[in-house]
Amino acid sequence: MRGILDSRRISDDAIVITGIGVVTGFGIGYDALCAGLVAEKSCVRRLDGDGANRCRVRKGAFLERFNPSDYENTTHFGRLARGTQFSIMATDEAIKQACVPRALASDSQVGLVFASTRVALEKTQQFYGKILDKGPRLVNPLVFQETVNNAPASHICMRHGITGPSLTLTSGGTGGIQALAIASQWLGRGKVKSVVVTAADVADAPSQSAHGYARGHAPVELGGIEESCPFDRRRNGYVLGEAAVSLVLETWSSARNRGVDPRVALCGWGMAHDGCGPGRYHHDGLGMEASIRAAMEMASKGCGDIGWVLAGAQSSKVGDRSEARALRRVFSDRTPPVTALKSAVGEVESASAPLFIAAAVAAMRHEVLFRTLNHEEHDPDCELDLVKSTRRAYVDTVLANALWFGGGSASVVVQRWDDGCARGPSTTNAECSA
Amino acid sequence: MDRVLVTGLGTVNPLGLTVATSFAAMLEGTDGIRKIDAFDVSSYDCANGGCVPAVAAASLSVRENQVAGRDSQFLLCAAEDAFAEAGLASISQEERGRIGLYTGTTLGGLALGETFYRQLMNNPSAVRTRPLLAMSLHAANDLTMSKLALGGDSVVFSTACSASAHAIGCAFDTIRAGHAKIALAGGFETFSEVTYTGFSILRSMTSDKIRPFDRKRSGLVLGEGATVLVLEEYEHALARGAQPYAEIIGYGSTSDAYHMTAPHPQGDGAARAISLALADGGIAPADVDYVTAHGTATPANDVAETRALKRSLGDLASSIPVSSIKSMIGHTLGAAGAMGALAAILAIRRSAIPPTINYEEPDPECDLDYVPNEGRDLRIRVALANSFGFGGNNCVLAFRGVGA
């Protein structure tokens, strides 16, 4: 994929996003996300229920009072996993917004890449619980089919008649950006005309309990702060969240020919791995640094071009510091404003980066930089220009990061569509690190 | 930039723990199915599976081998062998830092997740976190990336039974797009009670032998293992003197959008995937000399696949040998696509086709040449590897002999 600034004009094969669908703790729909962020709200709430009672952590950023029948009153929809329901809802919104014709989907011209870390876990635990309780002959096959990780993608394909390629990624928190990269490659090779990228993870009770026992979830140290406060010296683990985000990608020429307005351009992406072993980050953020540099290089963006960074920071002691160090090495003293949105929406795992892109579009529209919540105590290990209160700003180009337990990291660069494509000149990565 | 070679292979599967022993056993038509001892199977009609003996990864200490999940051990063993065989052991750390790992799996470390869940139900205060960390589908990748000191992309695909074929296809695309010179790609799978019960309750499993394309076929038998390919950009491989097995030339992927568990009865999506792989490779049906089939031995799959082959290959379908190695190793689910790729690549390299064993009675609805019971010597220019997954995920890979 060429950087869209290559020739100071828009190239036909520039990748653009023409549809966005969102479900978060703020509510159902992209507008609910915008309203929540603009109002500086948090989705983090106290959890109830049996699953939460077994768990020492009681907070999560989840969607309250969600009743599936309010969205679709069918037995089929009602029996799906919560994450599958969210995925379908977000995809419905994105496809509707992008006006993707069903005929295009059923003509194998639309692909789907779905990413999730643990959407299938809800039904897997339900199914396994029945095996232990009733024995293997009395379980429900309709539950088994929902334990398969690609079940949400298959439901989406059937619902929208998508007969092009369909993939499901389970790489963890970097999955959302990996999905965007694969979608871009499909478009670049002309395999399809549009790709729906949907990413979802949910804070259902079994998942919540699993994270609690993993001891990464706040409070890691009992008695410490239970809020998500990325880059804050008091940070004490992440708060699990839930979200589904769907983005429709196509080339600029495809969008133009269909008469659809792009919401934002996808300019570049990069992925790397720390290689430190399961559950670990590199303490200095080497992988994160590599993925940021790769994304900026593909986007033909220099340090001065990045107007805002949406950090992957989740309020973990090592992860936040790793990302801060990576950003400092790339940007040196010219670190752009940085916001850690997980302070408001929780750790939404695979959906994180797609959610950041949706938030970036909202920030471009409202001309604000959303703030990092709960930040009170400066951490000298995280020297960044952290956005602690909402700032008015014209946002042109945004870098979004994802990093994940086990060492995976990924970055993506997006740029506003209206007039940003004609902007220049860029500084170079070599200038950044000098 | 568009040409990509297979320069290394590694595998652990029910027929062997090395590429050479595995393929020799395949050509002999060895039955790798035996009684499962991974968990209690007394409540199931089918007690057999394609079991892999205990393995120990060379780069893990005794303690690490004890701690690692069986899925991680499988993947790491296969990746270590592929990496070494490709002659990559001596490359620089800088080059390792650009190599990624693309894997497919259905379950990852779910077997350890089941352990965690039992502990959680029985005595929450005694829960150990190790199984929980290891059950993540990316844990095996993380360990392998760490032990081989790789720093590129680490991507895990979970499109059911076509997962590892998709992993190989996407790694192929990544190299073709110029984003990498070398990538490891493959898949891994282990037994778990969840999957065993699920296929059992769906009545997909047989208590008989697994008999792909046979009229008496009555279902699949599950298997486990891992296979990893080293994919490498053509010029890069030649420049460093690599000895390629074959060239990967095409990748076709489609969705049935039809049913959550059943294949499209006319093999619609599968036929399109085959045609896309041919078109991607710039080849015609007449170029194809062998197809390693998905061939699960379920009544529905084998008919649908036969129809898909006829639709996509036309009249030539009946003259092209088609065999299912699942008859020997069982259905390895997320690893099946990589196992099929292994068979296709080695068939090209050795000019020999593994058979479909346990084949006794022809089915009028499955009327192709399934290479019954005995391997066959044949020079192969191009081989296809079919993978069709739960939920209608289809993926077909095309390989060609180097210089063919």
Record: contact B146-A272, CB cut-off 8 A = no
Q: What is the mean pLDDT of residues B149-168?
A: 97
Record: contact A131-B194, CB cut-off 8 A = yes
Joined together, the tokens standing for residue A95 give 């496809």
Q: What is the mean pLDDT of residues B37-63?
A: 88
- Give B260's contacts in chain A (Cβ within 8 Å): 145, 151, 154-155, 158
- Give B392's contacts in chain A (Cβ within 8 Å): 154, 157-158, 166
Q: Which of B290, B256, B248, B254 is nearest to B273 (CA)?
A: B254
Record: contact A214-B149, CB cut-off 8 A = no
**Buried-state track B315-348, b at ≥16 Cβ within 10 A, e below 16:** eebeebbbbbbbbbbbbbbbbbbbbbbbbbbbbb
Q: What is the mean pLDDT of residues A88-113?
A: 95
**What's the predicted TM-score (pTM) here?**
0.95
pLDDT at residue B39, rounded to an integer: 87
**Buried-state track B215-251, b at ≥16 Cβ within 10 A, e below 16:** eebbbbbbbbbbbbbbbbbbebbeebebebbbbbbbb
Q: Which residue has the tokens 């999940």?
A: B69
pLDDT at residue A75, rounded to an integer: 96
DSSP state of B223: B
Query: Which CA distances in Å does A297 have to A176, B152, B266?
Result: 20, 16, 46
A151 touches chain B (CB under 8 A): yes
Distance CA(B229)–CA(B70), nearest Å, equals 20
pLDDT at residue B204, rounded to an integer: 92
pLDDT at residue A425, rounded to an integer: 36
Joined together, the tokens standing for residue A322 give 């790793």
Contacts of A31 (CB under 8 A, 6+ apart): none
Least confident piece of the model among A2-16, B16-30, B130-144, B378-392: A2-16
A281 touches chain B (CB under 8 A): no
B341 has pLDDT over 70: yes
The mean pLDDT of chain B is 94
Mutate to test the interface with A, among B1, B101, B138, B174 (most CBs of A within 10 A): B138
Looking at the complex, report in whole angstroms how far the Cα of residue B158 sits from the nearest Cα belonging to chain A: 5
A423 has pLDDT over 60: no
Looking at the complex, report in whole angstroms how far the Cα of residue B351 sits from the nearest Cα belonging to chain A: 32
Least confident piece of the model among A74-78, A414-418, B267-271, B287-291: A414-418
| Residues 229-248 of chain A whose Cβ lies under 8 A from any Cβ of chain B | none
- Give A289's contacts in chain B (Cβ within 8 Å): none
Q: Which of B370, B394, B226 is nearest to B291 (CA)?
A: B370
For residues B212 and B298, is the Cβ–Cβ distance under 8 A?
no
Exposed/middle/buried for A29, CB within 10 Å: 0-12, 13-18, 19+? middle
- Give A287's contacts in chain B (Cβ within 8 Å): 151
Q: What is the mean pLDDT of residues A74-95?
A: 97
Query: Which CA distances in Å does A415 have to A17, A185, A258, A361, B376?
Result: 10, 19, 21, 9, 57
Strands B225-233 and B4-12: antiparallel
pLDDT at residue A215, rounded to an integer: 63
Residue B397 φ/ψ, nearest 5 degrees: -110, 145
A426 has pLDDT over 50: no
CB contacts < 8 A (A, B): 232
A1 has pLDDT over 60: no
Nearest to A147 among B143, B153, B194 (CB): B194
Distance CA(A123)–CA(A202), nearest Å, equals 12
For residues B264 and B256, is the Cβ–Cβ distance under 8 A?
yes
For residues B189 and B225, is the Cβ–Cβ distance under 8 A?
yes
Stronger pLDDT, A271 or B63, i.e. the higher one = A271
Q: What is the mean pLDDT of residues A352-366?
A: 97
Give the fold, CATH level 3, of A15-418. Peroxisomal Thiolase; Chain A, domain 1 (3.40.47)
Distance CA(A426)–CA(A306), nearest Å, equals 10
| pLDDT tens profile A328-344 | 999 998 899 999 999 99
pLDDT at residue A214, rounded to an integer: 62
pLDDT at residue A54, rounded to an integer: 62
| pLDDT tens profile A369-381 | 999 999 999 999 9
Distance CA(B5)–CA(B3), nearest Å, equals 7
The helix/strand/coil state of A297 is helix
For residues A240 and A6, is the Cβ–Cβ distance under 8 A?
no
Record: contact A170-B173, CB cut-off 8 A = no
A57 has pLDDT over 80: no
Distance CA(A16)–CA(A418), nearest Å, equals 12
| pLDDT tens profile B170-222 | 999 999 999 999 999 999 999 999 999 999 999 999 999 999 999 999 999 99
Record: contact B137-A149, CB cut-off 8 A = yes
- Cis amide prior to A165 (ω within 30 degrees): no
Q: Please state which CATH number belongs to domain B4-239.
A: 3.40.47.10
A210 has pLDDT over 70: no
pLDDT at residue A226, rounded to an integer: 87
For residues A368 and A389, is the Cβ–Cβ distance under 8 A?
no
Beta bridge partners of A19: A248
For residues B5 and B231, is the Cβ–Cβ distance under 8 A?
yes
Q: Where are the beta strands (DSSP E) in B93-224?
A: 100-104, 154-157, 182-189
pLDDT at residue A428, rounded to an integer: 41
B33 has pLDDT over 70: yes
Nearest to B173 among A185, A215, A290 (CB): A185
The helix/strand/coil state of A110 is strand
- How would CATH label the architecture of B252-400? 3-Layer(aba) Sandwich (3.40)
Instruction: Report the residue of chain B nearest A164, measured CA to CA.
Output: B254
Of A298-312, A418-432, B63-77, where does the model show the most confidence?
Answer: A298-312
DSSP state of B44: S
Record: contact A112-B255, CB cut-off 8 A = yes
Nearest to A213 among B108, B132, B139 (CB): B132
| Residue boundaries of the structural domains of chain A | 15-418
A3 has pLDDT over 60: no
CATH 3.40.47.10 domain position(s) in chain B? 4-239, 252-400
Q: What is the mean pLDDT of residues A125-153?
A: 92
The mean pLDDT of chain A is 90
Nearest to A170 among B97, B138, B201 (CB): B138
Residue A242 φ/ψ, nearest 5 degrees: -140, 145
Distance CA(B164)–CA(B316), nearest Å, equals 28
Nearest to A215 among B129, B141, B201 (CB): B129
Looking at the complex, report in whole angstroms how far the Cα of residue B60 sits from the nearest Cα belonging to chain A: 12
CA A159 to chain centre: 23
pLDDT at residue B195, rounded to an integer: 92
pLDDT at residue A430, rounded to an integer: 41
Looking at the complex, report in whole angstroms how far the Cα of residue B216 sits from the nearest Cα belonging to chain A: 24
B128 has pLDDT over 90: no
Annotated catalytic residues of B are 161, 294, 331
